[in-house]
Amino acid sequence: MKVFADKLEDALAKSLPPVVIVAGDEPLQHMEACDAVRRTAREAGIEEREVLHVEANFPWGRLLESAASLSLFASRKLIELRLNGKPGQEGAKALKEYAEGMSGSDNILLIASAKLDYREQKSAWFKALDKAGLFVPVWPVDASRLHFWLRDRASRHGLTLDLDAARLLGERTEGNLLAADQELQKLALLLPPGARISPQQVAGGVEDSARYDVFTLLDACLKGERARVSRILGGLRGEGVEPPIVLWALTRELRLLLSIHQHLDQGQSLEHACKAQKPPIFDKRRPAYQQAIQRLPMKRLHKLLLFAQRLDLTIKGAGTIPLWDGLHDLALTLAGGRGLLAELPSSYRVGG
Protein backbone atom coordinates (compact mmCIF):
# COMPACT_ATOMS: atom_id res chain seq x y z
CA MET A 1 0.00 0.00 0.00
CA LYS A 2 1.32 3.40 -0.95
CA VAL A 3 1.83 5.90 1.89
CA PHE A 4 3.55 9.25 1.37
CA ALA A 5 6.36 10.29 3.69
CA ASP A 6 4.32 12.90 5.59
CA LYS A 7 1.71 10.25 6.51
CA LEU A 8 4.11 7.42 7.34
CA GLU A 9 4.23 7.96 11.11
CA ASP A 10 0.42 7.86 11.31
CA ALA A 11 0.39 4.59 9.36
CA LEU A 12 3.11 3.06 11.55
CA ALA A 13 1.23 4.10 14.69
CA LYS A 14 -1.65 1.87 13.61
CA SER A 15 0.52 -1.19 12.91
CA LEU A 16 4.08 -2.13 11.99
CA PRO A 17 3.88 -4.03 8.68
CA PRO A 18 6.28 -6.87 7.81
CA VAL A 19 7.71 -4.90 4.87
CA VAL A 20 8.37 -1.20 4.28
CA ILE A 21 9.88 0.01 1.00
CA VAL A 22 11.28 3.55 1.12
CA ALA A 23 12.29 4.68 -2.36
CA GLY A 24 13.36 8.05 -3.72
CA ASP A 25 16.21 10.48 -4.22
CA GLU A 26 15.39 13.24 -1.71
CA PRO A 27 17.86 12.65 1.16
CA LEU A 28 16.11 14.34 4.11
CA GLN A 29 12.69 12.74 3.72
CA HIS A 30 14.26 9.38 2.80
CA MET A 31 16.40 9.42 5.95
CA GLU A 32 13.50 10.46 8.19
CA ALA A 33 11.18 7.79 6.74
CA CYS A 34 13.76 5.06 7.42
CA ASP A 35 14.36 6.48 10.92
CA ALA A 36 10.62 6.32 11.61
CA VAL A 37 10.55 2.61 10.71
CA ARG A 38 13.60 1.89 12.91
CA ARG A 39 12.11 3.84 15.82
CA THR A 40 8.76 2.03 15.54
CA ALA A 41 10.56 -1.31 15.43
CA ARG A 42 12.46 -0.47 18.63
CA GLU A 43 9.25 0.59 20.34
CA ALA A 44 7.77 -2.77 19.34
CA GLY A 45 10.61 -4.52 21.16
CA ILE A 46 12.75 -5.33 18.12
CA GLU A 47 16.30 -4.67 19.26
CA GLU A 48 18.31 -6.66 16.71
CA ARG A 49 19.06 -5.05 13.36
CA GLU A 50 20.93 -6.54 10.41
CA VAL A 51 22.02 -4.34 7.51
CA LEU A 52 22.60 -5.80 4.03
CA HIS A 53 24.28 -3.57 1.43
CA VAL A 54 23.35 -4.65 -2.09
CA GLU A 55 26.24 -3.94 -4.42
CA ALA A 56 27.67 -5.67 -7.51
CA ASN A 57 27.72 -9.47 -7.13
CA PHE A 58 25.71 -9.36 -3.92
CA PRO A 59 24.86 -12.94 -2.81
CA TRP A 60 21.08 -12.72 -2.62
CA GLY A 61 20.93 -15.93 -0.65
CA ARG A 62 22.03 -13.85 2.36
CA LEU A 63 18.60 -12.22 2.50
CA LEU A 64 16.80 -15.53 2.83
CA GLU A 65 19.44 -16.85 5.24
CA SER A 66 19.05 -13.78 7.42
CA ALA A 67 15.29 -14.19 7.48
CA ALA A 68 15.57 -17.86 8.42
CA SER A 69 18.33 -17.59 11.03
CA LEU A 70 17.31 -17.46 14.68
CA SER A 71 18.89 -15.06 17.14
CA LEU A 72 20.14 -16.11 20.57
CA PHE A 73 18.80 -12.90 22.05
CA ALA A 74 15.52 -12.09 20.28
CA SER A 75 12.75 -13.76 18.30
CA ARG A 76 12.37 -10.82 15.90
CA LYS A 77 14.77 -8.59 14.03
CA LEU A 78 14.81 -5.72 11.59
CA ILE A 79 16.46 -6.62 8.29
CA GLU A 80 17.54 -3.49 6.47
CA LEU A 81 18.25 -4.01 2.78
CA ARG A 82 20.00 -1.05 1.18
CA LEU A 83 19.32 -1.42 -2.51
CA ASN A 84 21.56 0.44 -4.95
CA GLY A 85 19.95 0.28 -8.37
CA LYS A 86 17.70 -2.48 -9.68
CA PRO A 87 17.84 -5.92 -8.04
CA GLY A 88 18.34 -7.80 -11.32
CA GLN A 89 16.93 -11.23 -12.07
CA GLU A 90 18.55 -12.97 -9.09
CA GLY A 91 17.48 -10.22 -6.70
CA ALA A 92 13.94 -10.10 -8.07
CA LYS A 93 13.65 -13.86 -7.55
CA ALA A 94 14.99 -13.65 -3.99
CA LEU A 95 12.69 -10.75 -3.06
CA LYS A 96 9.65 -12.55 -4.44
CA GLU A 97 10.67 -15.70 -2.59
CA TYR A 98 11.06 -13.68 0.61
CA ALA A 99 7.55 -12.25 0.18
CA GLU A 100 6.06 -15.70 -0.39
CA GLY A 101 7.82 -17.23 2.61
CA MET A 102 7.41 -14.57 5.29
CA SER A 103 3.96 -15.63 6.55
CA GLY A 104 5.52 -17.53 9.47
CA SER A 105 8.12 -14.89 10.26
CA ASP A 106 7.92 -12.00 12.71
CA ASN A 107 10.85 -10.16 11.14
CA ILE A 108 10.54 -6.71 9.60
CA LEU A 109 12.12 -5.96 6.22
CA LEU A 110 13.05 -2.35 5.48
CA ILE A 111 14.12 -1.79 1.88
CA ALA A 112 15.91 1.55 1.43
CA SER A 113 16.20 2.29 -2.27
CA ALA A 114 16.70 5.04 -4.80
CA LYS A 115 13.71 5.95 -6.94
CA LEU A 116 11.89 2.94 -8.39
CA ASP A 117 10.50 3.63 -11.87
CA TYR A 118 7.09 2.50 -13.06
CA ARG A 119 8.54 -0.68 -14.58
CA GLU A 120 9.96 -1.80 -11.24
CA GLN A 121 6.68 -0.96 -9.56
CA LYS A 122 4.93 -3.35 -11.94
CA SER A 123 7.40 -6.19 -11.30
CA ALA A 124 6.34 -9.39 -9.53
CA TRP A 125 8.76 -8.88 -6.62
CA PHE A 126 7.54 -5.34 -5.95
CA LYS A 127 3.85 -6.28 -6.13
CA ALA A 128 4.37 -9.20 -3.75
CA LEU A 129 6.12 -7.05 -1.14
CA ASP A 130 3.84 -4.03 -1.61
CA LYS A 131 0.79 -6.23 -1.03
CA ALA A 132 2.16 -7.26 2.36
CA GLY A 133 3.41 -3.89 3.56
CA LEU A 134 3.93 -0.21 2.83
CA PHE A 135 5.51 1.57 -0.10
CA VAL A 136 6.82 5.05 0.72
CA PRO A 137 7.75 6.99 -2.44
CA VAL A 138 9.93 9.95 -1.54
CA TRP A 139 9.52 12.91 -3.88
CA PRO A 140 11.31 16.27 -3.83
CA VAL A 141 9.02 19.02 -2.56
CA ASP A 142 7.60 20.91 -5.54
CA ALA A 143 8.89 24.46 -5.79
CA SER A 144 5.33 25.81 -5.87
CA ARG A 145 4.63 24.51 -2.36
CA LEU A 146 8.13 24.57 -0.89
CA HIS A 147 7.39 27.69 1.17
CA PHE A 148 4.42 25.95 2.81
CA TRP A 149 6.62 22.94 3.60
CA LEU A 150 9.24 25.23 5.14
CA ARG A 151 6.64 27.06 7.22
CA ASP A 152 5.39 23.76 8.64
CA ARG A 153 8.95 22.56 9.15
CA ALA A 154 9.81 25.71 11.10
CA SER A 155 7.03 24.97 13.57
CA ARG A 156 8.78 21.67 14.39
CA HIS A 157 11.73 23.73 15.59
CA GLY A 158 9.54 26.07 17.64
CA LEU A 159 9.71 28.92 15.12
CA THR A 160 7.16 30.92 13.17
CA LEU A 161 8.12 31.59 9.57
CA ASP A 162 6.40 34.36 7.60
CA LEU A 163 5.36 33.26 4.12
CA ASP A 164 7.61 35.87 2.52
CA ALA A 165 10.50 34.61 4.64
CA ALA A 166 9.60 31.03 3.69
CA ARG A 167 9.66 31.94 -0.02
CA LEU A 168 13.09 33.54 0.32
CA LEU A 169 14.40 30.55 2.27
CA GLY A 170 12.96 28.30 -0.44
CA GLU A 171 14.81 30.21 -3.16
CA ARG A 172 18.08 29.85 -1.26
CA THR A 173 17.69 26.15 -0.46
CA GLU A 174 15.61 24.73 -3.33
CA GLY A 175 16.62 21.17 -4.12
CA ASN A 176 18.49 20.88 -0.82
CA LEU A 177 16.06 20.17 2.02
CA LEU A 178 18.90 19.06 4.26
CA ALA A 179 20.38 22.56 4.03
CA ALA A 180 16.95 24.13 4.61
CA ASP A 181 16.42 22.09 7.76
CA GLN A 182 19.93 22.90 8.99
CA GLU A 183 19.25 26.61 8.52
CA LEU A 184 16.05 26.30 10.56
CA GLN A 185 17.93 24.41 13.28
CA LYS A 186 20.54 27.16 13.33
CA LEU A 187 17.88 29.86 13.65
CA ALA A 188 16.21 27.88 16.46
CA LEU A 189 19.49 27.91 18.39
CA LEU A 190 20.01 31.65 17.88
CA LEU A 191 16.47 32.86 18.55
CA PRO A 192 14.09 32.42 21.50
CA PRO A 193 11.33 29.77 21.25
CA GLY A 194 8.34 30.93 19.23
CA ALA A 195 10.31 33.67 17.47
CA ARG A 196 8.82 34.97 14.23
CA ILE A 197 11.36 34.98 11.40
CA SER A 198 11.23 37.83 8.91
CA PRO A 199 12.55 37.95 5.32
CA GLN A 200 15.29 40.31 6.54
CA GLN A 201 16.56 37.69 9.00
CA VAL A 202 16.63 35.06 6.25
CA ALA A 203 18.41 37.44 3.86
CA GLY A 204 21.02 38.31 6.47
CA GLY A 205 21.61 34.87 7.94
CA VAL A 206 21.01 32.20 5.29
CA GLU A 207 23.56 31.45 2.60
CA ASP A 208 22.50 30.35 -0.87
CA SER A 209 22.78 26.55 -0.84
CA ALA A 210 20.18 25.67 -3.49
CA ARG A 211 20.94 22.63 -5.62
CA TYR A 212 19.55 22.24 -9.11
CA ASP A 213 19.65 19.76 -11.94
CA VAL A 214 18.58 19.96 -15.58
CA PHE A 215 15.23 18.33 -14.79
CA THR A 216 14.44 21.14 -12.35
CA LEU A 217 15.24 23.56 -15.17
CA LEU A 218 12.86 21.77 -17.55
CA ASP A 219 10.09 21.86 -14.95
CA ALA A 220 10.50 25.63 -14.56
CA CYS A 221 10.53 26.11 -18.35
CA LEU A 222 7.33 24.13 -18.84
CA LYS A 223 5.53 26.06 -16.10
CA GLY A 224 6.66 29.41 -17.48
CA GLU A 225 8.55 30.40 -14.32
CA ARG A 226 10.95 32.86 -15.95
CA ALA A 227 12.67 34.25 -12.86
CA ARG A 228 13.21 30.72 -11.59
CA VAL A 229 14.63 29.67 -14.98
CA SER A 230 17.27 32.41 -14.74
CA ARG A 231 18.08 31.46 -11.16
CA ILE A 232 18.42 27.75 -11.98
CA LEU A 233 20.64 28.38 -15.00
CA GLY A 234 22.90 30.54 -12.85
CA GLY A 235 23.03 27.76 -10.28
CA LEU A 236 23.85 25.09 -12.87
CA ARG A 237 26.63 27.23 -14.30
CA GLY A 238 28.04 27.92 -10.84
CA GLU A 239 28.02 24.20 -9.99
CA GLY A 240 30.05 23.42 -13.09
CA VAL A 241 27.38 21.62 -15.10
CA GLU A 242 28.62 21.29 -18.68
CA PRO A 243 26.69 23.23 -21.38
CA PRO A 244 26.15 20.11 -23.58
CA ILE A 245 24.12 18.52 -20.75
CA VAL A 246 21.88 21.59 -20.45
CA LEU A 247 21.47 21.78 -24.24
CA TRP A 248 20.65 18.06 -24.44
CA ALA A 249 17.90 18.45 -21.85
CA LEU A 250 16.35 21.53 -23.50
CA THR A 251 16.51 20.00 -26.98
CA ARG A 252 14.91 16.78 -25.76
CA GLU A 253 12.06 18.79 -24.25
CA LEU A 254 11.56 20.76 -27.48
CA ARG A 255 11.25 17.53 -29.48
CA LEU A 256 8.83 16.16 -26.91
CA LEU A 257 6.61 19.23 -27.13
CA LEU A 258 6.66 19.04 -30.94
CA SER A 259 5.62 15.39 -30.76
CA ILE A 260 2.70 16.24 -28.45
CA HIS A 261 1.64 19.04 -30.83
CA GLN A 262 1.63 16.57 -33.74
CA HIS A 263 -0.58 14.14 -31.84
CA LEU A 264 -2.99 16.94 -30.94
CA ASP A 265 -3.11 18.12 -34.57
CA GLN A 266 -4.19 14.60 -35.50
CA GLY A 267 -7.23 15.00 -33.28
CA GLN A 268 -5.92 13.03 -30.31
CA SER A 269 -6.50 14.10 -26.71
CA LEU A 270 -3.71 15.47 -24.52
CA GLU A 271 -3.94 12.34 -22.37
CA HIS A 272 -3.39 10.08 -25.38
CA ALA A 273 -0.60 12.31 -26.71
CA CYS A 274 1.20 12.16 -23.36
CA LYS A 275 0.79 8.40 -23.05
CA ALA A 276 2.19 7.95 -26.56
CA GLN A 277 5.56 9.42 -25.55
CA LYS A 278 8.48 7.21 -24.55
CA PRO A 279 8.57 7.10 -21.61
CA PRO A 280 4.94 8.14 -21.09
CA ILE A 281 4.12 11.42 -19.38
CA PHE A 282 2.02 10.61 -16.34
CA ASP A 283 -0.83 12.55 -14.75
CA LYS A 284 1.26 14.59 -12.31
CA ARG A 285 3.28 16.28 -15.09
CA ARG A 286 0.58 16.73 -17.72
CA PRO A 287 -0.66 20.15 -16.51
CA ALA A 288 2.85 21.59 -17.03
CA TYR A 289 2.96 20.25 -20.59
CA GLN A 290 -0.51 21.60 -21.24
CA GLN A 291 0.65 25.06 -20.14
CA ALA A 292 3.67 24.88 -22.45
CA ILE A 293 1.64 23.65 -25.44
CA GLN A 294 -0.85 26.50 -25.04
CA ARG A 295 1.99 29.01 -24.77
CA LEU A 296 4.24 27.70 -27.57
CA PRO A 297 2.88 27.14 -31.08
CA MET A 298 4.71 24.76 -33.38
CA LYS A 299 6.29 27.63 -35.32
CA ARG A 300 7.94 28.94 -32.15
CA LEU A 301 9.12 25.45 -31.17
CA HIS A 302 10.71 24.93 -34.60
CA LYS A 303 12.56 28.26 -34.22
CA LEU A 304 13.78 27.20 -30.81
CA LEU A 305 14.97 23.89 -32.22
CA LEU A 306 16.90 25.67 -34.97
CA PHE A 307 18.52 27.89 -32.36
CA ALA A 308 19.42 24.81 -30.32
CA GLN A 309 21.17 23.43 -33.40
CA ARG A 310 23.22 26.64 -33.67
CA LEU A 311 24.20 26.28 -30.02
CA ASP A 312 25.27 22.72 -30.75
CA LEU A 313 27.54 24.02 -33.52
CA THR A 314 29.02 26.50 -31.05
CA ILE A 315 29.77 23.68 -28.61
CA LYS A 316 31.52 21.83 -31.45
CA GLY A 317 33.60 24.89 -32.29
CA ALA A 318 31.75 25.83 -35.47
CA GLY A 319 29.68 28.73 -34.08
CA THR A 320 30.24 32.03 -32.30
CA ILE A 321 27.18 32.44 -30.05
CA PRO A 322 28.06 33.19 -26.37
CA LEU A 323 27.19 29.77 -25.01
CA TRP A 324 25.65 30.38 -21.58
CA ASP A 325 23.85 33.49 -22.84
CA GLY A 326 22.50 31.38 -25.67
CA LEU A 327 21.30 28.66 -23.30
CA HIS A 328 19.63 31.34 -21.18
CA ASP A 329 17.98 32.76 -24.31
CA LEU A 330 16.72 29.30 -25.29
CA ALA A 331 15.40 28.38 -21.83
CA LEU A 332 13.81 31.77 -21.19
CA THR A 333 11.98 31.72 -24.52
CA LEU A 334 10.80 28.18 -23.81
CA ALA A 335 9.38 29.57 -20.55
CA GLY A 336 7.46 32.24 -22.46
CA GLY A 337 9.91 35.12 -22.07
CA ARG A 338 12.06 36.93 -24.62
CA GLY A 339 15.68 36.16 -25.37
CA LEU A 340 18.36 38.44 -24.00
CA LEU A 341 20.87 38.30 -26.89
CA ALA A 342 20.05 41.70 -28.33
CA GLU A 343 23.66 42.29 -29.31
CA LEU A 344 23.66 39.32 -31.71
CA PRO A 345 22.51 39.44 -35.34
CA SER A 346 18.79 38.79 -35.68
CA SER A 347 19.48 35.44 -37.36
CA TYR A 348 20.86 34.20 -34.03
CA ARG A 349 17.93 35.27 -31.91
CA VAL A 350 14.87 33.20 -31.18
CA GLY A 351 12.28 35.85 -30.40
CA GLY A 352 9.47 36.77 -32.74
pLDDT in tens, 32-51: 999 999 999 999 988 889 99
pLDDT at res. 132: 87
CA-to-CA distance for 141 and 295, rounded, in angstroms? Answer: 25
Which amino acid would we find at residue 277? Q
Which of 154, 186, 205 is at the close of a domain? 205
Question: What is residue 72's predicted lDDT score, i.e. its pLDDT?
Answer: 56
> What is the chain's mean pLDDT, rounded?
87
Distance between CA atoms of residues 5 and 109, nearest Å? 17
| Last residue in a domain, options 178, 205, 232 | 205
Contact (CB, 8 A) for 321 and 314:
yes
pLDDT at 351 > cutoff 90: no
Are residue 98 and residue 181 in the same domain, yes or no? no
Same domain, 225 and 292: yes
Tell me what percent of the residues of the chain surpass a pLDDT of 90: 51
| pTM (2 d.p.) | 0.72
Q: What is the pLDDT of residue 352?
A: 43
Q: Would you state the pLDDT for residue 71?
A: 60
Task: Kindly indicate the confidence band of residue 104, based on its pLDDT and cuts at 50, 70 and 90.
Answer: low
Phi, psi of 3 (to 5 degrees): -135, 125
**Enclosing domain of residue 191:** 143-205
Domain-terminating residue out of 205, 239, 256: 205
List the beta bridge partners of residue 259.
none
Instruction: Give every CB contact of residue 307 below 8 A, 6+ residues apart in sequence.
Output: 326, 329, 330, 348, 349, 350
In a shared domain, residues 83 and 163: no
Q: What is the mean pLDDT of residues 67-80?
A: 76
